[in-house]
Structure 1
Amino acid sequence: MASEAAATGSTNTGILGWIERSGNKLPDPVFLFFWLIGILIVISVIASLAGWAVQHPTELTEAGEPVVIAATSLLAAENIQRLWVDMPTTFTHFHPLGYVLVVMLGAGVAERAGLFGTAMRAGVRNAPTALLTPIVVLVGMLGNLAADAAYVVLIPLAGIIFHAAGRHPIAGIAASFAGVSGGFSANLLPGQLDALLFGITEASVETVFGDWTANIAGNWYFIAAMTFVFLPVIWFVTDRMIEPRLGKWNAEAAGNAMAEEQGDRPLTDGERMGLRWAGLAVLFVIGLWLLFTFGPGTPLIDEEATPEARLTPFYRSLVAGFFLLFLLAGWAYGKAAGVINDHRDLVKMMAGAMEDLAYYLVLAFAAAHFVAMFAWSNLGLVLAVNGADFLSSSGLPAWALLAAIILVSGLLNLFVGSASAKWALLAPVLVPMLMLLGISPEMATAAYRVGDSATNIITPLMVYFPLILIFCQRWQKDFGLGSLAATMLPYSIGLMLVGLALTIGWVALDLPLGPGASVFQEIPGTVNPVAPAAAQ
């Protein structure tokens, strides 16, 4: 499928052709990190020889003087020793790794048992015609919890449902693609992506400021708001722009065989029973966490901590909470639907989820060493302090800085498709720098997510872009790469504009981003950068 899509777009010209050609020249994200490690080594040597240094914004000597942190060469004996001796620790202590592995153990069961796919089919099959578009879009955004299942189940199914309703099937594919991928970060609940991104955020904070615990619900309110502002935009673009542009669908162009091929069938009694049991399992886990939080002994509340820190155990338990929720819901569904017969099937599904993460483990190995070596070189602190001082003197308000991050993230997304790979590149500098300007790590993460989502649907380098093209070509054989990009471009522009407006409004009103997470924070110390020796 990918080769056919590539062939379709090989003669494409203009900006889309340039983006595709330029992006194809980039190495795989794994090797991209290795190349960046090589560049980082060279920069660290130059910075060390030039004497780049800053005063640490929070640490003081015993005499009360600011601690001076100098850039360190990664070719210094101590750093070479760290690289080879601590390699297993560097990899296994990479924060996103543990978060993702734990959540995916449960989500893998729910996906393989068929819970995610059945829930999405149930959500859109009997949708009222007048509300067909918003229901497809909403299910697509909520389907992000299902990761890959949303792409391979919902998007082709949306085309079938639109066709059955007498509407253009490609409009259905476009609307669901915009919901699943353009609304990639929008959701009513935190999920796998939150665990992944906040793990990287946590590692980035710790490279400069030491221990900091990520709260994977730190963007909960923000991503819920994204859901409600993105939905009407995608609805409007689909019904008022894309479907009129596509023209009236010729119902004779595709027969019922298309629907049968892509699995448009009523839910079985077992699947309906499975959904009911899965819902009860979800309610059980929610009730269990409420009991742990408010019940006898309040194990998820630290009664002796300050008011701001009392819920820290609750936030840190959410990774385990989502693991248990997905695991029990998937098990309950599979048992009722006849997919899971005994505990051995459950273990096989969990093992299969780990197999799917094989590429991510390789990527995490490279990213972990890039982040660790960035910290060893002290370049993160040097760049963050000097960057914060420059931005502070520029007088730019917080909303302008965050808007710039959104635009840069959206542009970078055209060339590097992986959300985690981009954030691992940007976060080590952006997060500490914004903290030194009083902007919280949660707000930095939220701004990145807006930019990353908006341009997912227009880059041929997005891993599912060729697959979506094939889905469209099943209905219209001459539908090419440029056709798909042109169809999705209005969605991308609309999502970027409302995402910018949402972020600016959120900052202006200083609204909470999630439980215990705010836009601004106390600046961690006084910023007094020391000019590089080469400039003195």
Structure 2
Amino acid sequence: MTQQRTGIVSRSLDTIERVGNKLPHPITLFFIFAMMVIIFSAIFSAMDIRVEDPLNEGEILTVKNLLSAEGIQYMFTSAVDNFTGFAPLGTVLVTMLGIGIAERSGLISTLLRGLATSVPKQLLTATLVFAGIMSSMAADAGYVVLTPLGAVLFAALGRHPLAGLAAAFAGVSAGYSANLLLTSLDPLLGSLTQQAAATYDPVYAETMNYAMNYYFMVVSVFVLTLVGTYVTDKIVEPRLGTYQGGIQQEEVEKLKPAEKKGLIGAGIAFVLTCALLALLIVPEWGPMRGPEGEIINSPFFTSLVPIILIIFLIPGLVYGIITKSIKTDKDVADQMSDTMATMGAYIVLAFAAGQFVAYFNETNMGIILAIKGAEFIESTGFTGIPLILTFMVVVAFINLFIGSASAKWAIMAPIFVPMMMHLGYSPELTQAAYRIADSTTNIITPLMPYFAIVIAFAQKYDKKVGIGTLIATMLPYAIAFSIIWVIMLIIWLLLGIDLDPGSPLYYTR
């Protein structure tokens, strides 16, 4: 029966893989989308499609033709500004400067290894899932550090190594959006959400902050840890059975004295850094408070990008100095430069996506499509929780073909954020629903960049592991995470709890 299920999954994924492999590179996709906006702007302009401006009663919005003389001038004169003004570009590059030091100095990998090797055996599964979820603070480091480590730890205890690999992979990938800290994903998606909201209500967009889903994602960490632990211990490991691979139990490399000293130093630096930052906002006289001492929508919240940079940079520097991975300022510069060198593909993607987003906004097609779509949905009576669930299903399906969270959101945010605002749902809620659907299906798509790497890790213990085997192992996590996370969001909606200070569930003009 298991073989039949695996065969069905394998055939389904083979189809998805074939279709997905025929898609152009995301960079090419955005250039294609930009060209489509140009062509459709001319068509829709000729059709005289128009709607009433929701912010200015009595005014009419029409589609601007980018193939007109004025439109052609706009495309040429705005190309550079469209690139440099692409909201996620600066936020990602700045945060990665700090995260790059923490990662390349060795702090992140040592922290993950120390966390996973210092807990009681009975808490190992929960620790792996928790560490996997938290690893998103170091971008994609969890895939290459924690996933193989999970297999090694389980093998060292005589448990099935693939169960340990699966637990870590589920935390790292399916729980990618959740974290106790703000990560580079928050400003990355938040900037796109804010940019999309501004096309519908610029005033409301100015009140938004990048921590718009923080409360919800903090609670999600503990909920997903419990779910991932249960699925591993009660479903995945029993299904895998007793390991017969012949690999001897492995010893996990314990932390060296220098690494322990480095972690202690980094921990002290982290506490002191947070304390100094707290002085900027906790006291009533704090310079990072807003007018009249307000905290919500204060300069603190609008400065989260450099704050994330500092929080990762200083502990990373301290760790590197103590462990000798950083000896001079040249090492710091080199590590930052190496990090930026890996961002080349993202910078090119930002140029292409910047043109698409700018064209979409300039033509008014985004706001018109949002209003027309919202009116259609309203006419069918399809609103509320069913609407949100349908949106999440669409996101999950698209994630099977386009793995990048930012690439998908750059395409979807200009359409769905204004549409949901028109129906009375906040951009913050739309982004939370997106993050859930995007995360939970990462582990079941072979087009996710690290999927092949995880298979390679698994083949160390079982040469027969392929796409079907891995997907069959990870499917219970995807289903369980999706169901529990959706239920959690529905409870959040029914109780009317804000997603974060100043981040409501519903939108009102």
TM-score when scaled to structure 1? 0.90
Cα drift, residue 11 of structure 1: 13
Q: What residue number does 1:527 align with?
A: none
Write the letter of the residue equivalent to 2:272.
F
Write the letter of the residue equivalent to 1:174.
A
Q: What residue number does 1:460 align with?
A: 446
How far, CA to CA, are the matches of 2:123 and 2:504 in structure 1? 35
How far, CA to CA, are the matches of 1:171 and 1:327 in structure 2? 34
Instruction: Tell whether 2:348 aligns with 1:401.
Output: no
Q: 2:55 aligns with which of 48, 53, 58?
A: 58
Decide which moves more: 314-323 or 461-470.
Answer: 314-323
Instruction: Tell whether 2:46 aligns with 1:20.
Output: no
Matches within 5 A, 1:130-169: 130-169=122-161
How far, CA to CA, are the matches of 1:29 and 1:42 in structure 2? 20
Write the letter of the residue equivalent to 1:274.
G
Cα drift, residue 381 of structure 1: 1.1
Q: What residue number does 1:44 align with?
A: 41
Change (3 A) 1:12 1:188: closer
Instruction: Tell whether 2:312 aligns with 1:320.
Output: no
Say how many residue pairs are matched.
502
Matches within 5 A, 1:427-506: 427-506=413-492
Give the match's secondary structure for 2:56: strand
How far, CA to CA, are the matches of 1:193 and 1:55 in structure 2? 35
Change (3 A) 1:194 1:102: same
Unaligned ranges ≥5, structure 1 = 1-8, 61-65, 525-536
Give the match's secondary structure for 2:300: helix
How far, CA to CA, are the matches of 1:12 and 1:161 in structure 2? 28
Q: What residue number does 1:272 align with?
A: 260
Change (3 A) 1:38 1:286: same
Tell me if the contact between 1:304 and 1:310 (Cα under 8 Å) persists in the aligned partners.
no
How far, CA to CA, are the matches of 1:171 and 1:77 in structure 2? 61
Tell me if the contact between 2:147 and 2:169 (Cα under 8 Å) persists in the aligned partners.
yes
Tell me if the contact between 1:431 and 1:441 (Cα under 8 Å) persists in the aligned partners.
yes
Write the letter of the residue equivalent to 2:232.
T
Matches within 5 A, 1:275-424: 275-295=263-283, 297-304=285-292, 310-424=296-410
Cα drift, residue 273 of structure 1: 0.9
Give deviations 1:8-67, integer Å, cap 9, x for gaps: x9999521111111111111111111111222222211110111111111125xxxxx22
Q: What residue number does 1:115 align with?
A: 107
Q: What residue number does 2:162 align with?
A: 170
Tell me if the contact between 2:290 and 2:298 (Cα under 8 Å) persists in the aligned partners.
yes
Tell me if the contact between 2:296 and 2:501 (Cα under 8 Å) persists in the aligned partners.
no
Write the letter of the residue equivalent to 1:438.
G
How far, CA to CA, are the matches of 2:82 and 2:344 in structure 1? 18
Write the letter of the residue equivalent to 1:140.
G
The root-mean-square deviation of aligned C-alpha atoms, in Å, is: 1.9
Q: 2:28 aligns with which of 12, 31, 35?
A: 31
Q: What residue number does 1:227 align with?
A: 221
Cα drift, residue 126 of structure 1: 2.5
Tell me if the contact between 2:377 and 2:383 (Cα under 8 Å) persists in the aligned partners.
no
Tell me if the contact between 2:403 and 2:442 (Cα under 8 Å) persists in the aligned partners.
yes
How far, CA to CA, are the matches of 2:69 and 2:172 in structure 1? 48
How far, CA to CA, are the matches of 2:200 and 2:71 in structure 1? 17
Give deviations 1:175-221, integer Å, cap 9, x for gaps: 10000001010111121111110111122122333362441111101
Give deviations 1:321-358, integer Å, cap 9, x for gaps: 11100000100111111111122211111111111111
Matches within 5 A, 1:84-103: 84-103=76-95
How far, CA to CA, are the matches of 2:59 and 2:341 in structure 1? 46
How far, CA to CA, are the matches of 1:404 and 1:435 in structure 2? 16
Give the match's secondary structure for 1:520: coil
Instruction: Tell whether 2:503 aligns with 1:508.
Output: no
Cα drift, residue 521 of structure 1: 2.3
Cα drift, residue 319 of structure 1: 1.2
How far, CA to CA, are the matches of 1:503 and 1:74 in structure 2? 40
Write the letter of the residue equivalent to 1:336.
I
How far, CA to CA, are the matches of 1:56 and 1:456 in structure 2? 38
Write the letter of the residue equivalent to 1:295.
P
Instruction: Tell whether 2:246 aligns with 1:253.
Output: yes
TM-score when scaled to structure 2? 0.95
Decide which moves more: 161-170 or 75-84.
Answer: 75-84
Calculate percent identity across the aligned residue pairs: 42
How far, CA to CA, are the matches of 2:247 and 2:471 in structure 1? 23
Decide which moves more: 19-28 or 199-208.
Answer: 199-208
How far, CA to CA, are the matches of 1:323 and 1:518 in structure 2? 27
Q: What residue number does 1:529 align with?
A: none
Decide which moves more: 335-344 or 113-122.
Answer: 335-344
Give deviations 1:123-155, integer Å, cap 9, x for gaps: 001321111111100000001111121110110
Cα drift, residue 270 of structure 1: 1.1
Write the letter of the residue equivalent to 2:41.
S
Decide which moves more: 76-85 or 293-302.
Answer: 293-302
Give deviations 1:393-437, integer Å, cap 9, x for gaps: 333342222111111111110011111111111100100111112
Cα drift, residue 468 of structure 1: 0.2
Instruction: Tell whether 2:176 aligns with 1:184.
Output: yes
How far, CA to CA, are the matches of 1:326 and 1:226 in structure 2? 23
Tell me if the contact between 1:399 and 1:508 (Cα under 8 Å) persists in the aligned partners.
no
Tell me if the contact between 1:48 and 1:70 (Cα under 8 Å) persists in the aligned partners.
yes
How far, CA to CA, are the matches of 2:118 and 2:274 in structure 1? 28
Give deviations 1:362-405, integer Å, cap 9, x for gaps: 11111111100001111111111122222233333422221111
Give the match's secondary structure for 1:312: coil
Give deviations 1:277-334, integer Å, cap 9, x for gaps: 11112112211221111337321112248x6x85431211111111100000100111
Give the match's secondary structure for 1:58: coil
Cα drift, residue 255 of structure 1: 3.1
Q: What residue number does 2:196 align with?
A: 204
